[in-house]
Amino acid sequence: MFERRLRHTRRYQEIVNAFIRYGFGYFLFRVGITDRDLSRGKVPSDADVNLQSIGRRLRLTLQELGPSFIKLGQIASTRHDVLPREIITELEQLQDHVSVFSFDHVQNTIESELEDSLDNVFDHVDPEPIATASIGQVHTARLFTGEEVVVKVQRPGLKPVMETDLEILEKIGQMLEERTVWAKRYRVQDIIHELSISLRNELDYLMEGRSGERIAKQFQQQMFVRVPTIYWDYTTKKVLTMEKVNGIKVSDVDTLDAEGYDRHLIAKRLADAMFAQILDKGFFHADPHAGNVYILPKNTITFLDFGEVGRISDEMTYHFASIIVHLHNGNAEALIKIFSKMDLIGEKTDINAFQRDLEALHDSYANVMLKDMSLGKIIIEIFQVAYYHYIDIPSEMAILSKTILTLEGVISRMDPDFSIMRAAEPYARKVLKRRYSPRRILRNSMSEIAENLEIITGLPRDVKEVMSTLQRGRVGLDINVKQAERFLHRFDKISNRLSFSIIMLAFSILMAGLIIGSAITDQSTVIWELPIIEIGAVIATLMFILMVITIIRSGRM
């Protein structure tokens, strides 16, 4: 315990010293992290308070503090909805400036993880790395069966340092949100929580391998997308062994042209592959930059490095697809409805002002050709407008916008005339059609019925508890108009369905009784010379149609 506390104290002091060294001492004093003496002489000059200078100094600070803080900056750079453009631009330049670690460490890690000597595991391992990053180092190797592979080995002593950093960052985030309005507004704790999840995932190469295999299964029926094979017998949490890819980097357009590749086809296949992951499967490669995409013969796309992946729920996929379609149609009112359905509109939001700003944004693109529109940029601008109007954007959406922006950068170099907007729309419309397919509606209806029955079953108990509370005089009045409206909407919805179900059930019982009675007595069902069962069937059908139309038109179905 004492050793852990000492380690935290030392690292905390390193973090504070780094921020002071790059001119953030006054800021640390203002938020209560340091005292006045440490911030003395550190009040920023006019030249230092411009956003570009702040962004540059912040980037250098994070870079010096190492992997955890570099990753924090990279995650923050995806939050175009909350951070100024100048700071985002600087944070996007964050790179891992790390030294190569010795081959002895590589050998020790491999032998420790695979529980055998290096000579017994691999036929050959190249001592010189082909890539080095803050998390790990990559070497080429050959198995005894002859396959050429690459081996990613985790940097030694990394996990304890990162765990210490994350614990310190969580405490700092909590303190900042308690003491400053801007930290609460920017949801600093959420960003740090996202960082913790991302870093812990990247430290587990087994998880990275499983992510790669999951995406590979998405394309197992398609020949134009490939993912390197994972060799699980040679893979652990700290060692990842996969098939070696001998392709051309997607950004090397000169070589692709010299080799006779079709750049337009490559751009189309890359866009299709990404939107299939995002809008069809809900699990996608979240960092498709040029270093992670290679091109193989026959214009085949190969994805590498699955340490950073994104997940998007069915509900969020539907909302994102709706945003794309309504963007294409220029329907600002429909966009507002989407934010409302996502339950993101707060009490401070002025809906009319929000709609005016969205319409103004759409007008700014009125004369821009579709091929010149940046889907990622437009989505980011919408999120910025939304955030200005006190609408908090989910982290899923922020990661999506960053992924699409990265994808556009790669594709624009490959084929400047290719339109991401046009490529995304068919997938978005497919999501909307799937949303209203009969099978999905039936499945959702069954879930709703089960949910409503659970509510109804517990209603007597809830009423009894409310009455007991009233009798004891322990009632507090707390009215939230927005929540009350949502509750009444929900209650109206349930009552309509119950009314419909009860009427139909009663009529069905009546008709069933007539049918059974006529069958037992072997008598005709004609009463007063009228075919009662036939007429009843027609009435039941009309009642069904009438009730459905009425409830749908009321918007309460």
Which of 43-52, 182-191, 233-242 is predicted with the least confidence, judged by mean pLDDT?
43-52
More confident residue, 342 or 523: 342
Residue 67 corresponds to which amino acid? P
Cα–Cα distances (Å) from 24 to 43, 44, 67, 71, 325, in that order, read 8, 8, 20, 20, 44
What pLDDT does residue 176 have? 82
Q: Is the pLDDT of residue 95 over 70?
A: no
pLDDT tens-digit readout, 36-62: 555 554 445 444 457 888 888 888 888
Report DSSP letters for 379-447, one per residue: HHHHHHHHHHTTBPPPHHHHHHHHHHHHHHHHHHHH-TT--HHHHHHHHHHHHHHHHT-HHHHHHHHHH
Q: What is the mean pLDDT of the chain?
A: 79
pLDDT tens-digit readout, 106-148: 999 999 999 999 999 999 999 999 988 878 899 999 999 999 9
526, containing H or E segment: strand 526-527
d(CA 287, CA 309): 7
Are 33 and 175 within 8 A, CB to CB? yes
Q: What are phi and psi of 245, to 5 degrees?
A: -105, 120
For the chain, what are the domain ranges?
2-96+182-201, 98-181+202-244, 247-436, 442-473, 478-557
pLDDT tens-digit readout, 427-459: 888 888 887 766 666 665 566 566 666 666 666
N-to-C CA span, the chain: 58
Catalytic positions, please? Answer: 287
Residue 27 corresponds to which amino acid? F
pTM to 2 decimal places = 0.70
CB atoms within 10 A of CB 137: 22
SS (H, E, C) 6-48: HHHHHHHHHHHHHHHHCCCHHHHHHCCCCCHHHHCCCCCCHHH
> How does DSSP classify residue 299?
T
More confident residue, 239 or 500: 239
